[in-house]
Structure formats: structure tokens, C-alpha cells
A and B are shown apart, each in its own frame.
Chain A
């Protein structure tokens, strides 16, 4: 596999040059003739009955083209559990409930019109604490389910329960056992480009929908269901992506504003754009959910883990989006991080009148890893073993099958841990308790697809034009992670062209083959695999042309030379060197015989073969094109939450050195080393970009970020109060790429989109304990919490 020309190289992101010149078209710039602007009116209460809505004044405002409420559109349910409607008619169950919407000729007029809508509410008792909401006599957030059947509890009917081995027996037999609680906050994904979409119906009521979704076919299907349910059956839907200003999970589900936009477009017969303000992005977009874990772990005398028991309570908020499915990914660290034979896990999702949650980079993994990895340090301490050593003792090995059935193929976890130890000077710095300390945490994540739908596949179409351009239609999307470069490198390698020859169109359901979505760190792995396969087909087609055309070209050129120079003696050429495509190779735009790579006559530029081979004449002309749909051999989780749902898994370790100021409680990160198993780095610079970016969000998760929700209301909906790290925080992050090419990956690559975020926060918590001896088990670790903990210890 060596001798790679493009894979493994730091190819620049020239394909995205418009992003540095200001010409890239995001949803902000996407415009259609006659386009209107939509704005949404949200609830004033966390729980209330809507007594009346009066839109008359708003309708009369000049420039307003439509004002709609739940009474103006069919009362159709949407969402993962069908537990909400697009505009709420009778009851609002959270502050961000959508009550009315306006379309107007400018966003400003639409905004003004919202202020003219009069809504009368009758407040109802609201419930904000999931523990309270779980009690049998708690007030119900929903009185009925999607089908109108009465509900008796706020606990969602979701199957998050897993068990392997015998935890009770293992606990009894353990030498050391620890148990603790952790909590994690709501986190906003904070895409710098806020949410938005443009919906447009043609005269046949077919819909063109420009959206930031990273799951174009999933969005299309959800919209199709919605249109069918409102009476627009059989309409054609095309979903398109603009350039997307960050995703991080926000674009996984189809949000309510998107259905509203579609309704406004339908009502006005005009293209309608909705684009969120930053305040809306904080208050009306589902964040990463808040969670609480109780985790108990045990080990034997030698420090081998014996069992792990985890109970999680997830604040579901008032409705259900993908946040409620994060336990399927929490399962990864809980069941499979380190070797642990006996595992039990239960997650309870509870309705409250808080904001509801969505996906965010890492899905449930960062939450659960915070529980598991802080527990690892507690247990190591109890067993008197160095936490790094403790992790090495229990590390996963290639060939392991974990309790949930994950088949570990490649696993350089030992190298990740040792690299971090060395780089962070672990042995020298650990255990001083002098205000400075080091900590670490590891991760496991899906890195080879993730079968969350029946199909985990993706399709790619490639055609090579007569001028040597390689046009690619990808069914996937790009959110800025660099796929236009990385997939181009893979295709260049597989076809024998150069990355700059490759032009990829992403994000168009009309053009691309089906794709499960650019999520779960799956894109490079799954689309890369499809690209390698399609690229090989393309190469084969070109080599078949070459078998026919190289001899023709050579003979013609020899004849010409003879003509020019009658003394020229044509050489005796061995045409059997090139009489089959198997005997030829195409690399870096050159075709040559495998047996004689520098053959002076047979080595031919691919462009010549395309020119002479494609446009030939009646009956002879050809096109070079191939398509591959590749569905990885992954399994869906079964009813017991077991199954090998990815082809391969990524491991990694973060090590942190901190300094804690005992006077202020301030935590300063002196160094963060994030070592990641990436299989093979297709583009090391871009891989590092993924690690740095994810690690930085992880630091925010650990130290500063929290959506503050007070009685159901987001009270810090801006960047002044929501503390996102800036360049001035100057945290030295070192990203280390560990390569151990995975046999299933495209040129050995594994996914690396999410892993960097996962171990960062627990590594920080563990380092703080090493520095000053206090455990902060409640994220984020703010100075106030550190001070309070120090005080409680009498420090």
C-alpha cells in the first residue's frame, strides 16, 4: 500500500478557495427572485394554555405576506416520536415553542409583525427537574402520546437498557469498588453560521429545499412524510446544501423552523428564507442534552476491571429529537472502553418543560466518557495504581469482542496512552498535589460507519471528461471538515489522476446516490470506501481504452517519424506488454506497462487516451463513468443493544497538565496532548484540524460552556454570557496522529470527526484532582465550583 502519491499528503484546501475570498455562498447569501423572509414567534411561557391568538394587526402591516398559526395549517405531528406539531395550537410546553410565523418582504418587517401578534396564555404548572418529573405523581408534560393514547408518566418509552454478565456477582467478588455521580450541562453547538433554510415550491407544488442538513436524504424523507400528511402526496422534493457554516450535530434532525419555512412558502407561493439570529440559535435550537450519571465500577487485586454499572437520567425537555437516542452511543464507552466483562447500563429519558435536545459532536460519548473516565481515576486511586498504568492494564486489544458485541480490529490504545504519558511528562509530574497536576482520559468511538438506519451506505458517481476533468457526485454533504480535499485525494489515488483534477459536487438529492449522512464520524470512511471502489472501476475503464489506443498512438507516431526521417528504423516493440488492462497501470495521469514503467514508447499521458478513445465515431464513442453504492458490513443494535454497529473503532487518549489557583479557583491548562488513532491520515494537516477543533470544544465543555436554563428559559443566549473559548485563551494543544492502518478503511483510514472532543473534559477533571485533590464531577468546572470544593476540604 505504500507508494501512495496523494493519500497521506497535506494537499491544500484549494477546492474551497471561495471561503477565503468571500465568495462562498452560505444560506445567508442564498437568494431567489421574489424571496420572502420568515420569522417565528415563540412562547412566553414554559407551560401554558394558549387562550387566543390575534394576528389581525400583524397581517395589516405593509410588506407582510403571510401570518400563520397552528389554526392555519394542518395539525400534523412531526419529530422522532411524533410528540409535537409545527405550530402549537392549544398548549405550549417550553419557552421555544413555535406559536406563529410571519413571511414578509424583509426580515425587519417580519420581525416587526411578530410584535403585533397578540397571544393570551393561561400559565400551567411546569416541571423542570427530571428527578421530580420521574415521580409517579408528577404533573404530565404530555397528556397523550402521538396516537392520542393517554400517558401516565413523563418517562419516555425508550429501550435504553443493557446488561452483560453478572454485575451483582462481580461486585461481590471485587476487591475495590467505587461509585459516584456526575452531571453534564446543556451545550450549544455554536455553529458560527446560524441555522437557516430556503423553501420554494414550483407551480406543480414540487419543493426545492435549500438546507444546511448533513443528512440530505433523511431530511428529504422527513419532509416527504410531512408533505404527505398535509395532503401533498407524491410531490417531488429536491434537497440542496449551500456552503454550511458549521454543523456539529445541529443539522441531523429536521427542525421545526424548517417545516414552518415550508408552510410559509406554500402559503405565499414564494420562496421563503428563515435564518436564525444568534439569540434564536441559543434559545430555539436543540443543544446537547443535560445528563446525570451514577457510575459504579470495581476491579480485582491486580487492577483488572470486574464490572461497570451505569444509570443515566437524561433531561429530554418537552419534545423528542435525536438527543433521546444518545444512549446508543453512550453505550460505546460504557460497555467497551477498556476490558470490562460485566456491564449494566440503563438510561431514562424524562420529559420536562425545559428545552429539548439534539445531537452534538460525539453524540452521547462525551457525557458517558466523563462518567467512565473520572470513575477510572477514582478506582485507580482506591486500588493504589497509577491511573495511566490502570488504563494500560485494562486496555482493549485487537481481536477483542466487547460485551456489546463490538469487534475491535485495529487498536493502538497502548500507543495512545504511552504517547500521552511521554509528552505530558506524566511520571515526572503526576502526584505532586502542589497546585499543578496531570490527568488523562481515553475514548472509543465508531470510526467505520454506524448502522443507525437500515442502510449504512453511501453512493458516489464519477465521470471522467474528455479533457481529463474528474467530476464526482457525492451523496454526502460537507460541513467544512474538508471532504472536497480529502475525498479528492482518495479519488485521485484510486483513479490515477491528481487531486486538482477532481471536482466534487456534494449535497444534492437530485444528483447523488443515497447516503446515510455525514455524521457519526463516518464520512471519510464510508464515502472514502465507495470512492476507492468507484475510482478503481474508472481506472479499469481507462486502461481498457488504453489497451486499444496506446498501440494505435504508438504506431501512428512511429509512422510519422519514418515519414519525417526515412532513415529512421522503427524499433521492435513488444506489444504483449500492454495487451491487457491488467498489465497496465495509471498513476499521476500517466499510463504505463507494469513490467516497464518507464517504457519510452508505451508510457502515455492519460489525456491522450481520453482524446483518442472517447469521441471516436459512429458506434465507437465512449464515456468513462462509474458509480458505486457501498454499504459497510455493520450491524444494527438489537433489542438488547448489542451488535457490531461499526466496521472499526477509533481509540485515543487526551492528557492534560493544569495549574489551579487556590485563591481564585481558576484552572489554567498548561498543556493538552490529544493522541488519536486515525488508522491512516489521508491528509495529516486536516486530521489535526479535526483534533484541534474537537479538543477545543472539549475544553469548553470541561471549563466554561453551559446553556443556562432557568425555569425553562435560556438566560445566556449570547456570546457574552455563553463562554466560548477565544484565541486569547491560548491553550497549547498538541495533536498527535497515531497511524495503524485499518484493513477496512479507505487506504486504512478511520473516522476522526468526533473523537477529539470526547476525552478532553474528563482528562481536565482528573488533572485538577491531581493538582489540588478535589473532584469536580459537575461540568463545567468553573472557578466557583473549584473554590467551593477546596473550601469544603478545608484547603
Chain B
């Protein structure tokens, strides 16, 4: 039985029929074709699927689709400005090698964004905790943490 839900996705209202059994990632990737959100495990253990719901970073592979009703969802596709200008976090990832294979990157950036939106001046420990649910096999996290620090600095200005 499909149900209709309404929510805000990347600043636009979306009305869509969903199967209540779906997870949010299924809706995003398979129905709305927003494939920037990645599925690295499907069971809440890698963070590749991280999106922001009402300001909180969540694993969209676990998030029941019915629960987004009335909420505000942000995915990687909505992070840059509509004219394509990169968000400072994206820019920093490009400049400081925060991205290698890029598979973890969407999730990393969403976790980082959720953090910086709440706290403009996080400590290194807070950054590391903020992305501790996001596994990256390529970078050893060093340049990801540095990228987020760089973005935070620039966003303050």
C-alpha cells in the first residue's frame, strides 16, 4: 500500500508516493534519482548514506521513509548553491585532498555540514566525533579533518 508524504528536500517541497517499508535512501536514490547519497553497507555502519534531517545527520539507509513527513531533508545535491558555487566544505575537500575515491565523501560532507551548521568553531575532537560514523578507507581522515577545519575558518569570515 503506497502512501503519500510531503517534506522539504533541498529547499523544495516534495510530494511523493512511497511504500511505508522503504528507507529514506531508497526514496532518494531509486525514486527521486538523487544518487549522490551512497549505500556502503545498508545497515547503519559506514555513514556513506548520511543526509541531514531537521538539522541532524542521519543514516538514510536506516531512516524509515514515513518519518520524513513534514521534515526538512538535505542531501549532497543541495549543498552547493543553485548556480553551482561550491559550499566552503566542498571547496575545502577539493583543495585539501579531503576526497580520494569519493565514495565516503557525500556522507562526510553531510556530517561535516550538520556539525558546522550547529557549531561554527568546533575543536578537532568535535570534528572527529562528528564524522566518527563515516568510514573512509582512502584518506586516514587526516585531510578530511583539515578540510573541515579550513571550511570552518572560511565560513566564520
A480 to B100, CA, bound (A): 5
A482 to B40, CA, bound (A): 21
- Is A693 touching B41 in the complex (CB atoms < 8 A)? no
Residues of A in contact with B (beta carbons under 8 Å apart): 10, 12-14, 16-17, 19-26, 28-29, 189-194, 243-248, 277-278, 479-482, 685-686, 688-689, 692-697, 718-720, 724, 726-728, 730, 733, 735
Q: Closest 8 CB pairs between A and B?
A: A22-B36, A480-B101, A19-B102, A696-B140, A245-B103, A22-B76, A728-B132, A692-B140
Inside 8 A of A189's CB, which chain B residues have their CB?
Answer: 137
- Is B105 touching A19 in the complex (CB atoms < 8 A)? yes
10 further A-B contacts with Cβ under 8 Å, apart from A20-B102, A22-B76, A688-B142, are: A16-B94, A16-B99, A20-B86, A26-B103, A191-B137, A192-B135, A192-B138, A245-B38, A688-B143, A728-B129
- Is A23 touching B36 in the complex (CB atoms < 8 A)? yes
Q: Which of B35, B43, B139 interacts with A28 by CB under 8 Å?
A: B35
A289 to B101, CA, bound (A): 24
- Is A278 touching B42 in the complex (CB atoms < 8 A)? yes
- Is A191 touching B97 in the complex (CB atoms < 8 A)? no
**B11 to chain A: closest CB distance in Å?**
15
Interface residues contributed by chain B, number (CB under 8 Å): 53
Q: Known interface pairs A481-B100, A720-B45, A733-B142. Does A28 touch B80 (Cβ–Cβ under 8 Å)?
A: no
**A interface footprint on B123-142 (CB within 8 Å = 1, 0 otherwise):** 00101110111111111111
- Is B109 touching A20 in the complex (CB atoms < 8 A)? yes
A24 to B134, CA, bound (A): 19
**B137 to chain A: closest CB distance in Å?**
5
Inside 8 A of B137's CB, which chain A residues have their CB?
Answer: 189-192, 246, 248, 693, 697, 724
Q: Answer yes or no: B104 CB below 8 A from chain A CBs.
A: yes
Q: Known interface pairs A21-B77, A192-B137. Does A693 touch B36 (Cβ–Cβ under 8 Å)?
A: no
- Is B94 touching A12 in the complex (CB atoms < 8 A)? yes
A29 to B35, CA, bound (A): 7
- Is A16 touching B102 in the complex (CB atoms < 8 A)? yes
A359 to B128, CA, bound (A): 31
Would you give 18 A-B contacts (Cβ < 8 Å), ordered by A?
A20-B94, A28-B35, A29-B35, A191-B137, A194-B40, A246-B103, A246-B138, A248-B137, A278-B43, A686-B97, A696-B139, A697-B140, A719-B46, A724-B135, A727-B134, A727-B136, A728-B128, A730-B125
**A interface footprint on B28-50 (CB within 8 Å = 1, 0 otherwise):** 00000011111111110110100
A72 to B35, CA, bound (A): 35
- Is B75 touching A20 in the complex (CB atoms < 8 A)? no
A19 to B137, CA, bound (A): 15
Interface of B is mostly: loop
A20 to B147, CA, bound (A): 12
Chain A's closest residue to B99 (CB) is A19
Inside 8 A of B138's CB, which chain A residues have their CB?
Answer: 192, 246, 480, 689, 693
B83-118, CB < 8 A from A: 86, 90, 93-97, 99-106, 109
Chain A's closest residue to B35 (CB) is A29
Q: Which of A20, A26, A694, A696 interacts with B90 by CB under 8 Å?
A: A20
Q: Answer yes or no: B79 CB below 8 A from chain A CBs.
A: yes
Inside 8 A of B96's CB, which chain A residues have their CB?
Answer: 685
Chain B's closest residue to A23 (CB) is B36
Chain B's closest residue to A189 (CB) is B137
A693 to B99, CA, bound (A): 11
Chain A's closest residue to B131 (CB) is A727
Inside 8 A of A695's CB, which chain B residues have their CB?
Answer: 140
A481 to B139, CA, bound (A): 10
A728 to B130, CA, bound (A): 9
- Residue from B90, B109, B136 having most chain A Cβ neighbours under 10 A: B136
- Is A22 touching B75 in the complex (CB atoms < 8 A)? yes
**A679 to chain B: closest CB distance in Å?**
19
Chain A's closest residue to B139 (CB) is A693
Chain A's closest residue to B41 (CB) is A278
- Is B95 touching A17 in the complex (CB atoms < 8 A)? no
Chain B's closest residue to A732 (CB) is B142
Inside 8 A of B105's CB, which chain A residues have their CB?
Answer: 19-20
Q: Answer yes or no: B145 CB below 8 A from chain A CBs.
A: yes
A548 to B103, CA, bound (A): 49
- Is A22 touching B37 in the complex (CB atoms < 8 A)? yes
A193 to B105, CA, bound (A): 11
**A23 to chain B: closest CB distance in Å?**
7
Q: Known interface pairs A278-B43, A719-B41, A719-B135. Does A692 touch B142 (Cβ–Cβ under 8 Å)?
A: yes
A696 to B102, CA, bound (A): 17
**B50 to chain A: closest CB distance in Å?**
12
- Is B38 touching A28 in the complex (CB atoms < 8 A)? yes
- Residue from A19, A193, A720, A728 having most chain B Cβ neighbours under 10 A: A19
Chain B's closest residue to A700 (CB) is B137
**B75 to chain A: closest CB distance in Å?**
7
Inside 8 A of A482's CB, which chain B residues have their CB?
Answer: 97, 100
A724 to B104, CA, bound (A): 14
Q: Answer yes or no: B152 CB below 8 A from chain A CBs.
A: no
A727 to B35, CA, bound (A): 25
Inside 8 A of B94's CB, which chain A residues have their CB?
Answer: 12-14, 16-17, 20
- Is B139 touching A692 in the complex (CB atoms < 8 A)? yes
Inside 8 A of B129's CB, which chain A residues have their CB?
Answer: 727-728
- Is A243 touching B102 in the complex (CB atoms < 8 A)? yes
Inside 8 A of B106's CB, which chain A residues have their CB?
Answer: 22
Q: Known interface pairs A718-B41, A730-B125, A730-B128. Does A689 touch B100 (Cβ–Cβ under 8 Å)?
A: yes
A191 to B46, CA, bound (A): 11
